[in-house]
Structure 1
Amino acid sequence: MTTASTERTARTFETIGVIGLGTMGAGIAEVFARNGFTVVGVELTEEAVERGREHLAHSTGRAVSRGKMSEEQQAEILGRIGFATDLSALADADFVVEAVVESLEVKKDLFRRLDDIVRPDAILATNTSSLPVTEIATANTRPGRVVGVHFFNPAPVQNLVEIVRTVVAEPAVLADVEGLLGRVGKNPVVCGDKAGFIANTLLFGYLNHAVSMYEGRYATREDIDAAMRFGCGYPMGPLALLDLIGLDTAYEILETMYRQGRDRLHAPAPILKQMVTAGLLGRKSGRGFYTYERADSPVVVADDRTPSTDDLPELRHDIRTVGVVGTGTMAAGIVEVFAKSGYDVLYVGRSQDKVEGVRAAIARNFDKQIQRGRATEEQKTEVLGRLSGTMSLDDLARVEIVVEAIAEDLAIKTTLFENLDEICKPGTILATTTSSLPIISLATVTSRPQDVIGMHFFNPAPIMKLVEVVSTVATDDAVAETVRALCAKVGKVAVSCGDRAGFIVNALLFPYLNDAVKMLEAHYATADDIDTAMKQGCALPMGPFELLDVVGNDVSLAIQRELYLEFREPGFAPAPLLEHLVTAGYLGRKTQRGFRDYSAR
């Protein structure tokens, strides 16, 4: 039995129309011209056309000066772009994308007018970053041919493009647009029509949460930004990124997202509106969360909130020997960090095998470094000579600080702190590496709550630069200052915060990851497209699902539950899909299956 082929011939695109030649529109025109398409750029006035020409000349000229294209190639590209001030010039266009002002009424009016100008088979696209594509599409008599095509700025450089499908978009149109964007070297991801699409929905929820954290004076702007840069490997901290985006732009995007979704986490933090009203818009105005050398300058200058270099932390306690309790990966890493920085380290394990395992692990790390020419045998011998292992907690009586890195279990840690309180001499600092448990609960079982503090290292400790220094309401200022100074002495970046669930990094990171799971759960986009959007659209080192599978879905769920219990914020409730994966034992890479299946790789 034979069946007729259902394969469809892909649409041919030759002429591309671009309406609006500001920074984004000119960039889109350049993308298509660079790839051999004839482009027709349309603006309102001759003056606007001239500005568009200047944008294109400047952008391509920069590529020439950097050796990325020749002057002949530049002339060829610019020669493919025609200009007009009348929409009728788009009569023969196969694909028209608008990049005009972000106004729903302006865009709807434009799509109504295009009805009588373009061919019936022409595809129309809007480059909106937050407005409802369905409303824009239905202004046209053929809404099935209208899609969202959200380029990222600068369009010639950024590879990500979000294709936004409406409920009436024709599948053939989506497939053709996806193919067209692939031809011009872009990585298209497909998502539904919801304010913010993929990247902005996930990004701006996180940014808004960071603003709330700053507004509540939980941590300084410098510490919030440093925490996400050094703790997560993000290229910029959230507050610096908001200054770059523009606080007015961020406010409008959040407002649009909140009006559509009514998610309280997208309601702009009050301080955002206050700053916008005061004209503190970020880099473009010369002042936002930070102060800049001048308007449009990336150079941050000191202001009344900048920490003084005279206030660098000092060791208010004399630290000669460091104690570490635990023999796992984190504990061994912390032992290595202190020993490499010249401190004698006494570490405690439950068995001789575990004690010897720490020394062996550090020796293996050194052997790898020696093989790469990054360390010497002499350094290895010197560092190993600073290590003392024991199975007796009583031996910690001679140290000046104890860092515990045992199981993340409050009952087990509580018992340990009761013992440390009895063993350690007066003035010894007792630090916990907990990432989610309340530190005050450990402090109050001791007779010295003023000496108890959080010292949250990130894994792997020898490589990751960040340490969150977490003070409780009882922690002595001199203890907190000593720990910050100690972090600096061992080459770490210390950030200070209070004793509440998630501290800085996890409190910002895990709600974002949870939002990504909810997005997947709602069939809004695929895991691959969400990961691609966040890596390429926001320059993050890993997509949310890659990261969840590395961290472990069980660990992620436990942290998310802690955040929900602490803040009672409905938006922090763990996504049901995350709960189901953990119940099924799909914990990520460690079980070979999580959001992805790793067994066949």
Structure 2
Amino acid sequence: MEFSTVGVVGAGVMGVGVAQNLAQTGHRVVLVDVSDDVLDNARHELRQSLRAYALFNKGAGADPQAVFDRIDFTTDYDLLAKADFVVENVTEDWGVKQRVYERIDAIVRPEVVFAVNTSAISITRVGSVTSRPDRVVGMHFMNPVPMKPMVEVIRGHHTSPDTIETARRFLGGLGKDCIVVEDVPGFVSNRVLMLTINEAAFLVQDGVAPAKDVDRIFTSCFDHRMGPLETADLIGLDTILKSIEVLHESFADSKYRPAPLLKKMVAAGLLGRKSGQGFHTYR
């Protein structure tokens, strides 16, 4: 296998999903985070996800325990030295991402590609703090990762054609296709989606309609699988807020001003599915 061992940095919702997808397709995974508590939660979430995947995909052939055993959970960044590819999934905070890339750039072999799993942060900016800007590429996975067949791949200013081709082969090994777009804040998906979610939050805030009815408009009238606020709950309202704030800062355009209701909910810990309460209830 060309990418026999893959480093996954960040063990939140997206990191666990990427690790699961990799392990299900036969890769060894080094899943790194800074906290043992986060890693313990990642183990719990992964076991639940694997049970659910086996239940809804009978005959898929992936033994949940065998998949789990392909993942090494660790706080030791030095274990990334054996990685053939790295996917980074830390929070949408430039200061945090910058420190992570400066750290892993000194550990991971020079020829290895870094994939930035981000919804808004500039790939060019990430590449600028590494010694390999030509081997840094955006790889915007969608949640839940194992169930989504398409990935938005972002070409930074210095990203080489070889790196784009490597990204295609890597994703092909996960059973996924990709669409390549250019490096602008929010790219395609989140430049549109974050505006939609933010405006939907304003509708709830302004009393135009409750969250359930806002979502029903989209699922019933437009045949969307999920409404914008249910989508926000799935992604995590803290992640949504950070993404909108990045867009607001990047474009200096008031249309990206975060809805005060969204900010209030995040401050209150109402983060969506992962907290049990967001625009909808999941208890």
* Range class of TM-score, shorter chain: 0.7 to 0.9
CA distance in 2 between counterparts of 1:192 and 1:250 reads 21
What is the CA–CA distance in structure 2 between the aligned matches of 1:252 and 1:209, rounded to whole Å? 15
* Count of matched residue pairs: 283
Q: Which structure has the bigger radius of gyration?
A: 1
SS at match of 2:151: strand
Consecutive unaligned residues in structure 1, runs of 5 or more: 1-10, 298-601
Q: Match of 1:180?
A: 170
Displacement of 1:89: 1.2
Contact 2:92 2:243 in 1 (8 A): no
2:87 is the alignment partner of 1:97: yes
Whole-angstrom CA distance in 2 between matches of 1:110 and 1:281: 24
Report how far residue 260 of structure 1 moved.
Answer: 0.8
CA gap 1:267/1:33 in 2 versus in 1, 3 angstroms: same
Provide the rounded CA distance (Å) in 2 between the counterparts of 1:167 and 1:260: 17
Name the residue aligned to 2:200.
210
Residues 160 and 186, structure 1, Cα contact 8 Å, conserved in 2: yes
For residue 42 of structure 1, report the CA deviation from its aligned partner: 2.2
Q: Taking structure 1 as reference, are residues 100 and 213 closer, same or farther at Cα in structure 2, changes over 3 Å only? A: closer
Aligned twin of 1:157: 147
The answer for the alignment partner of 2:156 in structure 1 is 166
- Alpha-carbon distance, 1:217 to partner: 4.4
Output the amino acid matched with 1:123: V
1:169 CA drift (Å): 0.8
Contact 1:131–1:195 at 8 Å: present in 2 too? yes
Rounded to whole Å, the distance in 2 between the matches of 1:90 and 1:279 is: 33
Q: 2:133 — aligned with what? A: 143
Question: Structure 1 residue 263 and structure 2 residue 261: aligned?
Answer: no
Distance 1:81 1:171 in 2: 30
2:70 to 76, 80, 86: 80
1:51 maps to: 41
Question: Within 1, Cα distance between the matches of 2:11 and 2:187?
Answer: 23
Equivalent residue of 2:97, what SS? helix
What is the CA distance between 1:227 and its match in structure 2? 2.7
Structure 1 residues 120-131: aligned runs within 5 Å:
120-131=110-121
Report if the CA contact (8 A) 2:88-2:117 is conserved: yes
Contact 1:208 1:265 in 2 (8 A): no
Amino acid at match of 2:181: C
- Code of the aligned partner of 2:242: E
Bigger RCO of structures 1 and 2 (CA < 8 A, at least 6 apart): 2
1:234 paired residue among 195, 220, 224:
224
Deviation, structure 1 residue 288: 4.8
Give the Å deviation of 1:84: 3.2
SS in structure 1 at match of 2:63: helix
- Residue aligning to 2:53: 63
- Mapped contact 1:22–1:55 kept (Cα < 8 A): no
Q: Distance in 1 between matches of 2:79 and 2:266?
A: 39
Question: Offset at 1:108?
Answer: 1.2
| Alpha-carbon spacing, 1:138–1:289, altered in 2? closer, same or farther (3 Å) | same
Contact 1:63 1:69 in 2 (8 A): no
Pairwise CA distance, 1:61: 2.6
RMSD: 2.8
Q: Does 1:198 align with 2:188?
A: yes
Q: Which residue of 1 aligns with 2:102?
A: 112
Alignment of 1:403-418 (within 5 A): none
1:372-393 CA distance string (max 9 Å, x none): xxxxxxxxxxxxxxxxxxxxxx
In the alignment, which of 2, 26, 37 is matched to residue 12 of structure 1? 2
List per-residue Cα deviations over 1:66-92 (Å, max 9, x = no partner): 453588733332333234332221212
Give identity over the alignment, percent: 38
Distance 1:99 1:132, change over 3 A: same
1:273 paired residue among 253, 256, 263 = 263
Distance (Å, rounded) in 2 between the aligned partners of 1:227 and 1:71: 38
Cα contact 1:194–1:260 (8 A) shared by 2: no
Q: Distance in 2 between matches of 1:79 and 1:226?
A: 41
Aligned residue identity for 2:159: A
Q: What is the alpha-carbon distance in structure 1 between the residues aligned to residue 277 and residue 42 of structure 2? A: 28
Pair 1:238–1:65, CA change in 2 (3 A): closer
Alpha-carbon spacing, 1:189–1:276, altered in 2? closer, same or farther (3 Å): same
User: Shift in Å at residue 215 of structure 1?
Assistant: 4.1
Q: Normalised by the size of structure 2, how large is the TM-score?
A: 0.86
- 2:242 is matched with 252
The correspondence of residues 227-376 of structure 1 with structure 2, limited to 5 A, is 227-277=217-267, 281-282=271-272, 288-289=278-279, 292=281, 296-297=282-283
Amino acid at match of 1:177: A
Deviation at 1:176, TM superposition (A): 0.9
Residue deviations 1:153-181 (CA, integer Å, cap 9, x gap): 22111222221111011111011111210
Question: Does the 8 A contact of 2:91 with 2:239 survive in 1?
Answer: no
Q: Give, in whole Å, the separation in 2 of the partners of 1:131 and 1:86.
A: 25
Q: What's the offset of the Cα at 1:207?
A: 2.3
**Residue aligned with 2:146, SS:** coil
Q: For residues 219-278 of structure 1, give each alpha carbon's deviation from its aligned partner in whole angstroms, at most 9, with x where no partner exists.
A: 555554333222211223334444444444332221211111233322223443344445
What CA distance in whole angstroms lies between the structure 2 residues aligned with 1:224 and 1:48? Answer: 34
